[in-house]
């Protein structure tokens, strides 16, 4: 008889525990997500997110212009190298100026200004102009360099050099 009592006691404890833990687990889950989103939906994080989104286009284009500027110093044609470097330096300075102007605009308008039209870094002229400049500079530099040998031409040249030796 004692064995039955232990068996049913365990069963009652498991059922009681189940009915107690399911609502408790749901309440803890809801409290966790409420607290989680309360932390991440706070005013400072909203401002941080807005600033990061505002900084992305000019910072991205400034980095790309800098990379192109560094790579164009090894270009073979002096005129293309000079013109490319001048254009890329101007574009880099333009990106920095637009970033500064947008930061001033952001802090004048205040946080939570969700209108993208207030900022110059999201304008069609800025975005399309940067892409067009990069494309044109890359195209002019590609057409002004001499053609690279493919693997077949390199093999023929090596065979001819080895046969002549």
Q: What is the pLDDT of residue 96?
A: 94
For 139, phi and psi rounded to 5 degrees? -65, -45
User: Does pLDDT of 117 surpass 70?
Assistant: yes
Residue pair 63/88 in contact by the 8 Å Cβ criterion = no
Are 110 and 145 in contact by the 8 Å Cβ rule? The answer is: no
Phi, psi angle pair for 129, to nearest 5°: -65, -40
The answer to whether residue 89 scores a pLDDT higher than 70 is yes
Average pLDDT for 77-102: 91
Q: Which two tokens stand for residue 128?
A: 């399309």
Helices and strands (H, E) in the chain, number of each type: 5, 0
Per-residue pLDDT at 31 exceeds 80: no
- The percent of residues in the chain predicted with pLDDT above 70, rounded, is 90
């Amino acid at each position: 008889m004692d064995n039955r009592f232990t068996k049913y006691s365990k069963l009652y404890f498991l059922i009681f525990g189940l009915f107690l833990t399911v609502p408790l687990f749901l309440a803890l889950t809801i409290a966790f997500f409420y607290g989680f989103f309360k932390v991440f939906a706070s005013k400072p994080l909203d401002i941080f997110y807005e600033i990061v989104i505002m900084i992305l286009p000019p910072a991205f284009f400034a980095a790309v212009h800098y990379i192109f500027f560094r790579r164009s110093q090894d270009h073979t044609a002096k005129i293309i190298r000079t013109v490319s470097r001048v254009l890329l330096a101007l574009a880099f300075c333009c990106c920095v100026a637009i970033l500064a102007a947008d930061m001033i605009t952001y802090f004048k308008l205040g946080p939570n200004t969700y209108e993208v039209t207030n900022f110059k870094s999201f304008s069609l002229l800025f975005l399309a102009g940067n892409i067009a400049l990069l494309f044109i500079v890359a195209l002019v530099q590609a057409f002004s360099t001499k053609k690279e040998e493919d693997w077949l031409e390199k093999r023929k040249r090596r065979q001819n050099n080895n046969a002549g030796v």
